[in-house]
RNA sequence: GCGGGGGUCGCCAAGCCUGGUCAACGGCGUGGGGCUUAGGACCCCAUCCCUUAGGGGUUCGUGGGUUCGAAUCCCACCUCCCGCACCA
């Protein structure tokens, strides 16, 4: 970090220029960045997104807006306590990540077993990084989502949402960790990422003989019951008889827990080994066929009921299991082998491209030799998919024959349900292990609280929020709408973790994405809490009703809460002044959740005038072309980047990284280049001014001032639309190139021109690189702060079309001449330039006018017929120059090319490297030994090289 | 699979909505020159191919189509990225 960066930080801080108060009547801009989650240090991804916010904030401030940019910290949720817990268990991976990736000192990590400490540590270091980067934040409004006052705010929010019918109760299956007693989301898993519950069918096979009891088999393919030949159990597995909802079921021991977690009443009454079941006969549902129970080691007692029925014709596992038994590969009692030998696969589905026994085809194709071959997984998946989509039920399937398998499945389920032969169990198709190390299963959670995002009326209202807002970049708009359509009810509370309890049901804690939807409103008043103008306990729901909705009288609310009337009114004023948020910028990944939730909740709770006004997103950040990932150590903390490149280097690199929804690639090389480019501003400006002189304006000055007009315009418009990259690219690089041209072009740069342009330039780049701007400004001897200076105005830079077009001509002549010299390799020592005659220029202008539908082109051609200029050459020239340029040239009226080029002759000579002289075609004095003058056309002088 | 966004001259990346000004902005890289004791920084030139008079050829994921004319519009395909829920 440069020394001057520290200096300016202190100046800004001492002058409190980022502390913003409501000033009724003054235009305001309220900008926000979604508060970051404090389970780790901020990284350059945060920095990328947040830098864009600060740039916008600084831009608006310079435009004269009263700007509020607040900041807060997200602590809600289970991730922080989860990390502490794992550390306390001695998890080396977690510890290592703290030390090596996050860069936490050993002594601090010790204390991370306390989640509060962990979060406060990261909050502390992150706050320092944000501050040192020069973000123009009003820190008086800072909070954490576990602060008591914030919890009061969430209380209010959820009470009101519930009253309005947006919070509802429901029952839903979840992946459950019995240790944590909490749902286990994807990010909480050690194993089984992306696995979600699937609905299995439980088919009831009546055990023949003895008392009435059911052997219950799990399957995804109940329609294959017509091909069942036997039932499998694991011979070593633990099985039980249990009373399930009043019936005697035989299932694996682990199935009983799951059943009772899935709203069944289940109690174990007897226990035995799987081998004890082998040899029993059971009656298949619907078909009524009697099937033997046989042993198979591929059966997993942890999955569903630990009992499956066998369809060897269509299930590769079953097919191999049967062969294993018949061919003596499986360990099994002789009686079972005898039973197995009588069984033959029963084909029940016909499918093109397969034989009668598709399972056999799949097994042979893969060279599978026994039922423990892992290739059976693939075989099963492929066959299942093929049969489900393309298979047709055969003759032997009774009233289902001829149906597509997909249809038959539904019908079979219906029928079995009707006959009470089928039940349902939610199960995970793959092993899922919680980060705490416990194996998860599916639990049906009752009476969960949901945000009712399915509500069509709410969806519709939310769409109007989006429609009414500015949404940048425009390609993101569609994503919001499809998200709104796609969202279903969202479970908004959990049983564990940090956060706010549901006010009416203290068992539940408001979940992290659900407590961060309208908190921007809290920023408007949080400074009163922090400034101890009131106690958090005084923040009754009625207080927020008054502050945010204007309900109730100040006198009444003041009396009720004990908050001073004066304070209460001031808070209300702050809210009314600042709300809504004018621009909220985040990474695009938040569109399908946070940003859309944000829109939903505002639609639900706020009047239209307080709906969000601006949504903006940017892409994700990659590091040297790789996706950021802590586990692969592709990770750069904000602090680290800041130390390395300085605040402005970091800011500029990120600002130039990408626009729109494109992902940005962080490259160290790039950051170095940009940093040194910024550094070189100092000598560039210094030298420029030192070499300048006091003189009258000439063409080059008029040109530069006019061009800057255009630059200001583009930068301003780009910033308004959050096109940060485009804005900085123009503000820094294009203006730089403009000045370079000027320095080269002007014989001696004019001090006044340069000073004015430099001062404007410094302000133009100030939102992006504020430290450098302040430093440059003070180095130039100016007193005021750039941060609070006025945004450059185009008014100070008169457009000068003649000057701009003149320079275009000069540049074009240089380009043409160089091109020509390159082609003819022979050494030349003099270039003669012939500018077109007045007649030709006149002709050109008339023709251009006729293009726009003015006079008739034929008539123009006839008028100039005697001048000796071929019409097709002029027409072709117009095409070459382009519509826009022709328009600009014609608009100038008389444009004296000869004057421009003859005065530029010394410059041209310098640029080209040989002597240059300029003549006008048709002039008496013109020397034209090679007869080239006749070829001169407007804006396309002819050349003679010798 | 579903939803959203992309594929441009070595790399990054503008342009595309509103067709012609596009061999296609800008940055980086590379080559050459200047400055300098030298290096870096800085400044200038060049950087698809061919071309001894400013010209020509072939390009914008692939293949078709519309048009006098397409990187830009339409269709199909290939391919990459993001999101897909009880989780920040």
Q: For A808-843, what is each residue's pLDDT tens digit?
A: 889 889 988 888 888 887 778 889 999 988 888 888
Report the alpha-carbon distance of residue A132 to residue A141 in Å, rounded: 18
User: pLDDT band for position A852 (50/70/90)?
Assistant: low
What average pLDDT score do residues A203-221 get? 93
Indicate if the pLDDT at residue A1 is higher than 60: no
User: pLDDT band for position A730 (50/70/90)?
Assistant: very high
pLDDT in tens, A673-721: 888 888 888 888 988 888 889 999 999 999 999 999 999 999 999 999 9
Of A108, A57, A87, A349, which is closest to residue A225 (Cα–Cα)? A349
Two structure tokens written together for A559: 């009396």
Q: Which nucleotide is nearest to A174 (CA to C1')?
A: B86
Q: Which nucleotide is nearest to A743 (CA to C1')?
A: B43
Residues for chain A: how many in total?
A: 946
User: pLDDT band for position A851 (50/70/90)?
Assistant: low
pLDDT at A854: 52
Q: Which nucleotide is nearest to A188 (CA to C1')?
A: B87
Indicate if the pLDDT at residue A173 is higher than 80: yes
Q: When comparing pLDDT for A142 and A368, which is higher?
A: A142
Q: Which nucleotide is nearest to A729 (CA to C1')?
A: B26
Show which positions of strand B are touched by protein (CB under 7 A): 3-6, 12-14, 20-22, 26-29, 41-46, 51-54, 81-88
* C1' of B27 to CA of A179 (Å): 54
pLDDT at A385: 79
Of A218, A243, A223, which is closest to residue A425 (Cα–Cα)? A218
* C1' of B64 to CA of A482 (Å): 31
Q: When comparing pLDDT for A330 and A534, which is higher?
A: A534
Report the alpha-carbon distance of residue A148 to residue A169 in Å, rounded: 26
Mean of the per-residue pLDDT values of chain A: 90
User: pLDDT band for position A380 (50/70/90)?
Assistant: confident
Q: Which nucleotide is nearest to A942 (CA to C1')?
A: B54
pLDDT in tens, A457-489: 999 999 999 999 999 998 899 899 999 999 999
pLDDT at A850: 67
Q: When comparing pLDDT for A240 and A889, which is higher?
A: A240
* C1' of B48 to CA of A258 (Å): 67
* C1' of B9 to CA of A666 (Å): 23
Indicate if the pLDDT at residue A861 is higher than 80: no
* C1' of B31 to CA of A696 (Å): 41
pLDDT at A564: 95
Indicate if the pLDDT at residue A672 is higher than 60: yes
* C1' of B21 to CA of A844 (Å): 17
Coil/strand/helix, residue A87: helix
What average pLDDT score do residues A488-495 get? 91
Query: What are the C-alpha distances in Å from A766 to residues A6, A483, A736, A774?
Result: 16, 37, 15, 8
Report the alpha-carbon distance of residue A28 to residue A525 in Å, rounded: 16
* C1' of B29 to CA of A194 (Å): 42
pLDDT at A69: 97
User: pLDDT band for position A390 (50/70/90)?
Assistant: confident
% of chain A at pLDDT higher than 70 = 98
CB A654 within 8 A of CB A671: no
* C1' of B88 to CA of A43 (Å): 15
Q: Give the number of other CB atoms < 10 A from CB of residue A835.
A: 31
Coil/strand/helix, residue A447: strand
CB A821 within 8 A of CB A945: yes
* C1' of B58 to CA of A823 (Å): 20
Residue nearest B44, CA–C1′ metric: A911
Residue nearest B2, CA–C1′ metric: A486
Strand partners, A177: A182
Is the backbone of residue A923 left (phi > 0), alpha (psi -120 to 50) or beta?
beta
pLDDT at A143: 97
What average pLDDT score do residues A548-553 get? 94
Report the alpha-carbon distance of residue A45 to residue A641 in Å, rounded: 11
How many angstroms from the chain centroid is the CA of residue A734?
Answer: 29
* C1' of B56 to CA of A181 (Å): 76
Indicate if the pLDDT at residue A881 is higher than 80: no
Residue nearest B21, CA–C1′ metric: A882
User: pLDDT band for position A309 (50/70/90)?
Assistant: very high
Query: What are the C-alpha distances in Å from A394 to residues A7, A185, A820, A939?
Result: 84, 42, 82, 83
Q: Which nucleotide is nearest to A196 (CA to C1')?
A: B85
pLDDT in tens, A109-126: 999 999 999 999 999 999
Q: Which nucleotide is nearest to A828 (CA to C1')?
A: B52
User: pLDDT band for position A856 (50/70/90)?
Assistant: low
Report the alpha-carbon distance of residue A648 to residue A683 in Å, rounded: 17
How many angstroms from the chain centroid is the CA of residue A865?
Answer: 64
Coil/strand/helix, residue A32: strand
Residue nearest B84, CA–C1′ metric: A592
pLDDT at A664: 86
% of chain A at pLDDT higher than 90 = 62
Report the alpha-carbon distance of residue A917 to residue A773 in Å, rounded: 43
Report the alpha-carbon distance of residue A572 to residue A566 in Å, rounded: 10
Indicate if the pLDDT at residue A927 is higher than 90: no
Q: When comparing pLDDT for A757 and A668, which is higher?
A: A757
pLDDT at A855: 56
pLDDT at A821: 85
Q: Which nucleotide is nearest to A480 (CA to C1')?
A: B4
* C1' of B47 to CA of A913 (Å): 21
Indicate if the pLDDT at residue A879 is higher than 70: yes
């Amino acid at each position: 970090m440069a020394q001057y960066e520290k200096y300016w930080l202190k100046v800004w801080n001492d002058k409190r220029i980022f502390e913003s108060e409501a000033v009724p009547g003054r235009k305001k801009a309220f900008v926000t960045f979604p508060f970051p989650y404090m389970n780790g240090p901020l990284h350059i991804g945060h920095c990328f997104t947040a830098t864009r916010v600060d740039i916008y904030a600084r831009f608006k401030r310079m435009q004269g807006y009263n700007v509020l940019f607040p900041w807060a910290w997200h602590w809600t949720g289970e991730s922080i306590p989860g990390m502490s817990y794992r550390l306390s268990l001695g998890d080396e991976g977690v510890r290592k990540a703290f030390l090596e990736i996050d860069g936490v000192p050993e002594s601090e990590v010790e204390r991370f077993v306390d989640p509060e400490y962990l979060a406060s540590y990261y909050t502390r270091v992150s706050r320092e990084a944000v501050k040192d980067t020069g973000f123009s934040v009003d820190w008086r409004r800072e909070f954490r989502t576990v602060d008591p006052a914030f919890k009061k705010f969430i209380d209010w929010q959820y009470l009101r949402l519930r009253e309005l019918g947006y919070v509802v109760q429901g029952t839903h299956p979840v992946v459950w960790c019995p240790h944590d007693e909490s749902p286990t989301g994807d990010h909480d898993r050690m194993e089984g990422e992306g696995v979600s519950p699937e609905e299995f069918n439980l088919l009831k096979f009546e055990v023949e003989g003895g008392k009435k009891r059911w052997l219950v088999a799990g399957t995804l393919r109940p329609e294959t019951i017509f091909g069942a030949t036997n039932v499998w159990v694991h011979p070593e597995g633990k099985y039980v008889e249990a009373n399930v909802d009043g019936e005697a079921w035989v299932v694996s021991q682990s199935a009983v827990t799951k059943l009772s977690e899935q709203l069944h009443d289940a109690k174990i009454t007897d226990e035995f080994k799987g081998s004890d079941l082998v040899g029993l006969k059971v009656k298949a549902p619907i078909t009524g066929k009697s099937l033997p129970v046989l042993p198979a080691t591929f059966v997993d007692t942890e999955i569903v009921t630990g009992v499956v029925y066998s369809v060897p014709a269509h299930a590769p596992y079953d097919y191999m299991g049967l062969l294993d038994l018949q061919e003596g590969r499986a360990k099994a009692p002789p009686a079972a082998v005898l039973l197995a030998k009588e069984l033959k696969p029963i084909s029940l589905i016909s499918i093109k491209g397969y034989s009668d026994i598709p399972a056999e085809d799949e097994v042979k194709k893969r060279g599978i030799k026994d039922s423990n071959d892992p290739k059976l997984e693939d075989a099963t998946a492929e066959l299942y998919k093929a049969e489900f989509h393309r298979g047709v039920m055969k003759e032997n399937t009774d009233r289902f024959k001829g149906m597509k398998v997909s249809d038959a499945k539904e019908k079979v389920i219906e029928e079995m349900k009707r006959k009470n032969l089928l039940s349902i169990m939610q199960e995970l198709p793959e092993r899922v292990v919680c980060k705490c190390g416990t194996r998860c299963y599916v639990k049906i959670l009752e009476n969960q609280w949901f945000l009712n995002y399915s509500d069509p009326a709410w969806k519709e209202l939310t769409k109007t929020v989006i429609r009414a807002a500015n949404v940048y970049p425009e390609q993101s708009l569609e994503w919001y709408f499809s998200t709104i359509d796609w969202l279903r009810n969202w479970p908004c509370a959990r049983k564990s973790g940090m956060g706010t309890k549901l006010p009416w049901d203290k068992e539940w804690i408001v979940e992290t994405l659900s407590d961060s939807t309208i908190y921007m409103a809290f920023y408007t008043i949080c400074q009163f809490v922090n400034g101890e103008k009131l106690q958090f306990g005084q923040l009754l729901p009625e207080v927020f009703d008054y502050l945010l909705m204007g309900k109730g009288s100040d006198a009444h609310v003041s009396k009720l809460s004990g908050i001073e009337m004066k304070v209460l009114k001031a808070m209300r004023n702050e809210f009314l002044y600042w709300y809504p948020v004018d621009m909220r910028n985040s990474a695009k990944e938040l569109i399908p959740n946070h940003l859309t939730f944000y829109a939903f909740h505002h639609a639900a709770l706020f009047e239209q005038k307080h709906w969000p006004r601006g949504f903006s997103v940017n892409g994700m950040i990659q590091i040297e072309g790789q996706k950021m990932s802590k586990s692969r150590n592709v990770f750069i903390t904000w602090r680290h980047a800041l130390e390395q490149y300085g605040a402005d280097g970091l800011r500029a690199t990120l600002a130039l990284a990408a626009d729109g929804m494109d992902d940005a690639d962080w490259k160290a090389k790039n950051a170095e280049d940009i940093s040194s480019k910024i550094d070189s501003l100092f000598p560039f400006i210094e030298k420029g001014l030192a070499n300048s002189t006091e003189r009258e304006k000439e063409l080059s000055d008029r040109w530069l001032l006019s061009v800057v007009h255009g630059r200001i315009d583009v930068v301003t418009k780009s910033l308004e639309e959050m096109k940060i990259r485009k804005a900085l690219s123009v503000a820094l690089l294009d203006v730089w190139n403009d000045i370079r041209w000027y320095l080269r072009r002007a014989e001696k740069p004019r001090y006044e021109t340069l000073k004015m342009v430099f001062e404007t330039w410094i302000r133009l780049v100030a939102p992006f690189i504020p430290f450098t701007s302040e430093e440059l400004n003070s180095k130039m001897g100016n007193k005021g702060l750039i941060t609070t200076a006025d945004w450059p105005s185009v008014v100070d830079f008169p457009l000068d079309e003649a000057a701009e077009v003149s320079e275009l001509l000069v540049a074009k002549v240089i380009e043409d001449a160089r091109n020509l010299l390159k082609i003819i390799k022979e050494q030349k020592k003099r270039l003669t330039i012939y500018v077109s005659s007045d007649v030709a220029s006149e002709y050109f202008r008339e023709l251009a006018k006729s293009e726009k539908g003015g006079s008739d082109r034929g008539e123009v051609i006839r008028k100039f017929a005697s001048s000796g200029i071929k019409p097709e050459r002029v027409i072709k020239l117009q095409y070459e120059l382009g519509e826009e340029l022709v328009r600009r040239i014609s608009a100038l009226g008389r444009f004296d090319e000869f004057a421009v080029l003859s005065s530029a002759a010394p410059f041209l000579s310098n640029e080209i490297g040989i002597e240059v002289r300029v003549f006008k075609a048709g002039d008496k004095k013109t020397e034209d030994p090679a007869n080239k003058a006749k070829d001169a056309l407007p804006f396309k002088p002819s050349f003679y090289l010798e």
